[in-house]
Structure 1
Amino acid sequence: MKWPESMVLRCWDSLKYIIWSTPNVVPSEDEIKRFNECALPFGISYWHIFPPTRTCINPACAHHSSRHAARPLKEPMTYKATLFTLRDGSLPIYTTSLYCHGCHTRYYHNYSIHKQTLTQTYYGGVPNVIQVAQHYFMEACLLELITTGKVFGWLSATNWAHIYNTGLAHLQRYIVNNPTAFSNVAWQSSRSSHSTNWFFLYSLLLDKAEHHWQLILGHDMDSQPKRLTEALMERNHATEGVGQESYGHACNVCCHIFKSDDAKMVKLHAAVCDGIQIGHPCCAVHDCKSLLVSHTAHHCKEHQSLGSVCAVTGCNAVRETGFHTCTIPQHCEAEQAYYEKGTAMFQLRAHLKRAGITVPADSIGASEIEDIPLDDTATNNRGCNNKSSSKSGHIKGSFSHNVTHTQLFFMRPCRIILSQATLFGSEAISAVLQAVHATFPTPESTPEYLFYDTNCKLLAPQHYNHDTHFLHTGQPIDVFHFKSKHKESDVNCQMYCNPAAFLELMQEGKWRLNTSICEQMNIWIGGYQAILQNMEVTRFNFYMDEDHMM
């Protein structure tokens, strides 16, 4: 307003008590714009972010606020940043940190950093504004909206960035998106970007706040993703086996208590198990569970030497420079066919083949014709032997890193997820049985019924090894899989796993439980395939846990 300083001081003396006692006033877009036009050149912004304290909060510090010698924090450091809001779009802001000379700690908006230990300690709780990268802040209410969209809309961080940039970053978004229709209105474009780690940081802060803990990260690392990894791994380990928040859940949908025909009280608490073929990158050696050397590597540290060997299964020859195979012609052709399958031309030719349309002989190679599956459903015709009815004589090899085979879920019929497990090489019965024992580690924790689509195979090693852990657990096969994939001639399957043999599962001619709940959940989980397919293992496991716990 170009007033003299004496006028500003007199106005402040007269109005300061009224200003501080006035309820929050929501400024208009024009008021925010005009304020920033005047304030930004002076290092001030409409939303200037400071630490939540002006004195040291470390009880062991001589400058602690509870002591008589409490001193204000010094050495302000200010730099420019961007704040992403839900109501006001993206805003240019300044953020300032302060320093305590008593304990050598610098205080930022969300956390403090100790100079000697280089630990990044968050203050506790979930702040209204969260720093997701050095120069980027996001409102918690915006983070919650985006998280909800990720859970129910399968939206990736990239897609959310596009949505925000297009629809929310600028207050006059309807003008920005329709410049022709509003050609007589002047506007200024606003672009923004997001760190993809905001989801993990926000989820960690929520988890720590729920347990009344503080999030502590190492600050001696060169990037936010590396700082978060250790905390994410800690959370992943805590949720394994019986660690899910809703592990002890019981309700009228998944647990039934009733009188039997002989007037005895019966409890029927069930669990359902099934897997979905969705996974994360892993070592190219079959069923190897060791971590990759790096996210883009093909092998773990133990098998790293195999990177110089031909990728074709069973061939130990040295690979040719620039290729994944040796000089054997058939192996070179296999590698070429592998990469051709990703081309548009190969896919179009495959469509012609399936449609029965003849094409000129010189337009498609013989190896391509052999590799086109004539019947996509042939590999799914499994009986009680759990083996494919089709055989393949094609050359097999690994021309990239492997992806874990199956993500196994244990659920209550009411949609509550008890646990999950990663099966690396295959859905082997031994691996499934190990996951079952981890989910129900004591006989007291076992359910009255456990449904699994190949329970007839799961029971075999239990009977052979005289395993009585699940002695009081019925192990039928869910109705859908039993009708479609199990033979009537298999006596053991019919005796132990036919759901009709368990009369208490029926009530007035209807099934008491939804035993297809995992199949229904798999449809939902499948929507995350594009987001998860190349995600690093720690974030993959954390993402899977967080999304089904929302």
Structure 2
Amino acid sequence: MKDNINLTQPLEMPYDGPPPILPPSIQGFLSDATGIALNLIPLCWGVLKEEAWEQAEDIWAGDEELFRNYGWNQGIMLMKLHPHTHFCDNADCDPTRPMKRENQRQIIIYTLLRGAQPGYHIHLTCKTFRTTYHNNYRVVDGTRIYYSTTPKYLQVGEHQFVEDAATWTSTMVLRWFSATNGAHLYNQTLAMHDEVLPPDWKIGKTIETAHVWDTFIINALLQDSIKCGEELEVPHTSDQCDRFKAAMERQNRRIVEEGQEEIAHACNKCMRVTENDDGTFGKKVEDKYYERGGASFILQERYCHTNASVVAPTNSVSTSIDNVMVTDLQEEFSVGEDGDVRMMDPATSSSVGQAVDGLDECGAKKSEQGNQVLKAIFSQQQTHNEQIAVCPCGVIVGRTTFHGTEAVSNIDLLEQLFLKALCNIPGFQKPEGFIYDCACDLHQQHQGDPWYNNVALCVDVFHFLNKHKVTHKHCQENCNPATYPKLMTDDKTGWFFNTSIAEQTNLWLGGYQAICRELGAIKFNFFLDEMIRLHNAEIVRQLATQGYNPWCTPANVL
């Protein structure tokens, strides 16, 4: 109650210690709550004020009931949010003169342990410079300028505050929790609707979906501004639904131009230091007969099958077609509401790209009935898919939206709008190899392009085994992962890199499809970029715990 006490003191009273006299309302509350006679409260305050003033402002068990029983009738609430200062921070303002022009409004604070709590939000105004100070921000000339600190209670509406905004965001990252489900969960389990409100209270306890969305958006923008050493500025007079659009768009644009925080990521799981004679990415046919049944063994058999006319080394694998034990399988997954990953048939899709003449596509075997099942779609689809660039350790370094399928006809889009654009971002180090399920088509279409010199293009192990033709010579000769020794472990019995990490990460990203379906373009990109940032932070934390030594390569090294 220190702020309540200070506001009632004369201008000349210092703020660095307890005042000699308590206001009448505070005296009455203390008398009723402690059972001490009202006329003895000033005496007790004179003796104990120094010790009481230095105590931490923690909320103890039983405090809520005391304020409800003895404070509400005097306008004293358990929770009262004040500005972070009582003095105007303008350099030309008198730093010794506290602001006394006070305004308060009823609010509801959505706490995690005490439910939806009634309280007051106090505004202080500097009449000289016409600046109004709130708990989260100050208002100057119609602009809301947030403080460069993380507030304990984040304002998400005119009369609504939430405690610990990061907790609300974490549910979205870890369990694909929508804002609607977040609001339902709080209202049903944490709001404590059975607890009464003051008789004259005009604000209800129910948290709305819009409040949860604003919790996510404001917290993300504020954390980004703090990290960049800037102040978050938004219009104060706009509607809440439009207030943060310009700030979100600025952040979206910056991520396109500068990339994610982990754009320069490297670790011992996604980068392997080797020394070749020519200093390039190694590429040769394996020279050892590996244990039968492993993926690397089957991939080598495929390679030898396509080169059956070439005399094989004495220690190479058999070239007999009968030994090629490969089954072409359908591969597509979905994430259920319970979070389980399930196999499913692909939905029908279309492409807006143009056919590429003269390209020998490397497709999977199809039955006469085809490999697609017609399905009815009763929701709007404004985009087709999200393309992501993922390090083998799981860190996502890039994302872009496709409005058509990732077919051969759209390879130019993949190359120009994603791969080359990603490599042009300052701080991003061009990889020595790209692993892509249609890498053979990309390799075939762009032979002779100097940009791909010293860059390996190979198909991931799963797609190479199950989705690519055994008889497609270009694919087998140029994009077989088994022909790249540096992708394998030193003993040649397994894979050093997880070549399927992009597909696995797609399963996580696909969990947000239902959440994103109705979002506008600005909010859509902002939400996915923030989810990726938080996802990367968790991956990096796990990598550090597991001893993979994650780091970001300094710009001067690049």
* Superposition TM-score tier, normalisation by shorter sequence: 0.5 to 0.7
For the pair 1:227 / 2:269, whether they are aligned, the reply is no
Shift in alpha-carbon separation, 1:64–1:496, aligned structure 2, 3 A:
farther
Label 1:456 to 1:64 Cα distance change in 2 as closer, same or farther (>3 A): farther
CA contact (8 A) 1:125 1:208 kept: no
**Residues 102-113 of structure 1 mapped to structure 2, 5 A cutoff:** 102-113=128-139
Structure 2 residue aligned with 1:410, among 383, 389, 393?
A: 389
The answer on 1:206 being equivalent to 2:223 is yes
1:252 to 268, 273, 291: 268
Separation in 2 of the partners of 1:24 and 1:4? 25
> For the residues of structure 1 that align with 2:403 and 2:516, how far apart are their CA atoms?
16
C-alpha distance in structure 2 between counterparts of 1:31 and 1:519, whole Å: 52
Return the offset for 1:445: 2.9
CA distance 1:234–1:33, change in 2 (3 Å): same
Q: Deviation string for 1:292-344 (max 9, x for gaps)?
A: xxxxxxxxxxxxxxxxxxxxxxxxxxxxxxxxxxxxxxxxxxxxxxxxxxxxx
Please list the CA deviations of residues 434-469 of structure 1 after superposition, one character each: whole Å capped at 9, or x if unmatched.
Answer: 211111128983201101111122224422xx4312
Alignment of 1:37-52 (within 5 A): 37-52=69-84
CA distance in structure 1 between the aligned counterparts of 2:242 and 2:429, rounded to whole angstroms: 37
Could you tell me whether the CA contact under 8 Å between 1:383 and 1:485 is conserved in 2? no
1:498 to 480, 485, 493: 480
Gap change, CA 1:386 and 1:437, over 3 Å in 2 = farther
Deviations 1:258-311 (A, max 9, x none): 244x5x77779xxxxxxxxxxxxxxxxxxxxxxxxxxxxxxxxxxxxxxxxxxx
* 1:470/1:102 CA distance change after superposition, 3 Å: farther
Does 2:118 align with 1:134? no
TM-score by length of 1: 0.68
1:533 aligned onto 2:517: yes
Partner of 1:384: 362
Kindly report which structure 2 residues correspond to 1:358-397, keeping only aligned pairs within 5 A, or say none: 376=345, 384-385=362-363
Residues of 2 paired with 1:480 and 1:200: CA distance? 38
Distance 2:425 2:137 in 1: 41
The one-letter code sitting in structure 2 at the alignment partner of 1:471 is N
Deviations 1:162-200 (A, max 9, x none): 222232223999xx9xxxxxxxxxxxxx94314121111
Q: 1:442 to 1:12 in 2, by over 3 A?
A: closer
CA contact (8 A) 2:104 2:123 kept: yes
Aligned length, in residue pairs: 411
Q: Distance in 2 between matches of 1:378 and 1:521?
A: 20
Counterpart position of 1:169:
191
Name the % identity: 32
- Cα distance in 2 for partners of 1:387, 1:479 equals 17
Query: Can you list the C-alpha shifts for 1:91-131, whole angstroms capped at 9, x where unaligned?
Result: 100111011112111111110111xx311000112111111
Whether the aligned pair in 2 keeps the contact of 1:241 and 1:419 (CA below 8 Å) is no
Contact conserved, 1:57 with 1:64, CA < 8 A, in 2?
no
Q: Which amino acid aligns with 1:494?
A: Q
Residue identity in the other structure for 1:483 = L
Structure 1 residues 209 and 200: CA distance shift in structure 2, 3 A? same
Gaps of 5+ in 2: 1-30, 197-203, 283-343, 350-359, 535-558
* Corresponding residue number in structure 2 for 1:419: 398
Q: Distance in 2 between matches of 1:56 and 1:377?
A: 61
Pick from 423, 430, 438: which aligns with 2:421? 438
SS, match of residue 274 in structure 2: strand
Q: Give the C-alpha shift of residue 26 in structure 1.
A: 3.7
Question: Is 1:88 matched with 2:78?
Answer: no
| Contact 1:75–1:99 (CA under 8 A) maintained in structure 2 | yes
Match of 2:172 in 1: 150
**Aligned equivalents of 1:252, 1:527: Cα separation in 2:** 28
Structure 1 pair 376–503 and aligned structure 2 pair: CA distance change class (3 A): closer
Partner of 2:254: 238
Letter aligned with residue 144 of structure 1: A
- Give unmatched runs, 5+ long, in structure 1: 177-189, 269-374
Give a deviation string over 1:203-253, Cα, whole Å, max 9, x none: 111111222221111123122x31111111111111126511011111111
Partner of 2:53: 20
Change in 2 beyond 3 A, CA 1:248/1:424: same
- How far apart are 1:431 and its partner, in Å? 1.4
**Contact 2:260 2:398 survives alignment (8 Å):** yes
- 1:543, distance to aligned residue in structure 2 (A): 1.5
Residues 146, 160 of structure 1: 8 Å contact kept: yes
Task: Provide the rounded CA distance (Å) in 2 between the counterparts of 1:123 and 1:253.
Answer: 39
Amino acid of the structure 2 residue aligned with 1:21: E
Distance 1:436 1:101 in 2: 55
**1:256 CA displacement:** 0.5
Counterpart contact for 2:364–2:469, Cα < 8 Å: no
In structure 2, the residue corresponding to 1:150 is in which secondary structure?
helix
Q: Corresponding residue for 1:192? A: 206
Paired with 1:400 and 1:84, the residues of 2 have a C-alpha distance of 33
Secondary structure at 1:256 match in 2:
coil
Kept after mapping to 1: 8 A contact 2:386/2:400 = yes
Go from structure 1 to structure 2 and tell me whether the alpha carbon gap of 1:249 and 1:404 turns closer, same or farther (over 3 Å shift): same
Whether the aligned pair in 1 keeps the contact of 2:105 and 2:120 (CA below 8 Å) is yes
1:51/1:109 contact within 8 Å kept: yes
Counterpart for residue 513 of structure 1: 497
How far residue 549 of structure 1 moved from its aligned partner, in angstroms, is 1.9
CA positional deviation for 1:528: 1.9
| Structure 1: distance between partners of 2:404 and 2:180 | 31
Distance 1:157 1:487, change over 3 A: same
Which letter maps to 2:419?
Answer: V
Alignment of structure 1 residues 50-65 onto 2, 5 Å: 50-59=82-91, 62-65=92-95
In structure 2, C-alpha distance between the alignment counterparts of 1:162 and 1:253, rounded to whole Å: 40
TM-score, scaled relative to structure 2: 0.67
Tell me the residue number matched to 1:480: 462
What residue number does 1:332 align with?
Answer: none
For 1:483-506, what per-residue CA distance to the aligned partner results, in whole angstroms no more than 9, with x for missing partners? 222222322222221112222222
Q: What is the alpha-carbon distance in structure 1 between the residues aligned to residue 376 and residue 392 of structure 2?
A: 40
Counterpart of 2:64 (choices 5, 27, 32) is 32
* Structure 2: distance between partners of 1:403 and 1:417: 23
Q: 1:548 to 1:103 in 2, by over 3 A?
A: same
> Which letter maps to 1:244?
Q
SS of residue paired to 2:72: helix
Indicate how the Cα distance of structure 1 residues 11 and 378 shifts in structure 2: closer, same or farther if over 3 A, else same: closer
Q: Return the letter of the residue paired with 2:423.
A: F
How far 1:6 moved relative to its partner?
Answer: 4.9
Residue of structure 1 equivalent to 2:103: 77
Range 42-51 or range 89-98, more displaced: 42-51
In 1: Cα distance, 2:170 partner to 2:228 partner: 22
